[in-house]
Amino acid sequence: MSKDEPPVHLHLLESFNAGWDGLNLIYEIEPRNETPERDFGQHFIIIARGDFRASYMLDGKWQEVDYTTGDIAIIPANHGFPKTQIDREVALVELFVDPKLITRTACELGNVENIELVPQWHIRDPLIENIGLALKAELELNGAQSKFYAESMATALS
């Protein structure tokens, strides 16, 4: 693989063909390597399923974060995902949340003006972790029949 080619990400499970609305999940093996800056156009939640060190290029400087199983990073859609280096291969649950889902949920609560997501590079949140793991388990067990469950969990996550 040349330096310009992105590393191969082994997707063990993904929801893109399950018909989920406003939310997608990838369970993958993140390779040890550097990944370029990316813009997903969606809010991006990473749930670590192992220990690793990530180095993020933020404001022109490398910032290191040590993760253990269950640690979470949240990157809002309007921030993009920075150039990143991972020190070892690690399993990750990744959630992609459509910003419209957050806005719709906020409107239903009558509080759309006060919604702002800020990047969180290293947090512990058992609720987010368990929602991600429950979505992964549901997708593994029920595949395309997981749509209603996923939409309920997407609302809870929002």
What is the reported pLDDT for 7? 64
What is the reported pLDDT for 1? 46
Q: How far apart are CA 2 and CA 21, in angstroms?
A: 36
What is the reported pLDDT for 153? 87
Q: At which residue do the structure tokens 């993904």 appear?
A: 14
What is the reported pLDDT for 154? 86
- Please list the rounded mean pLDDT of every run of 10 residues in the chain (158 residues): 62 90 93 88 95 95 97 93 94 93 73 76 96 94 83 84
What is the reported pLDDT for 59? 92
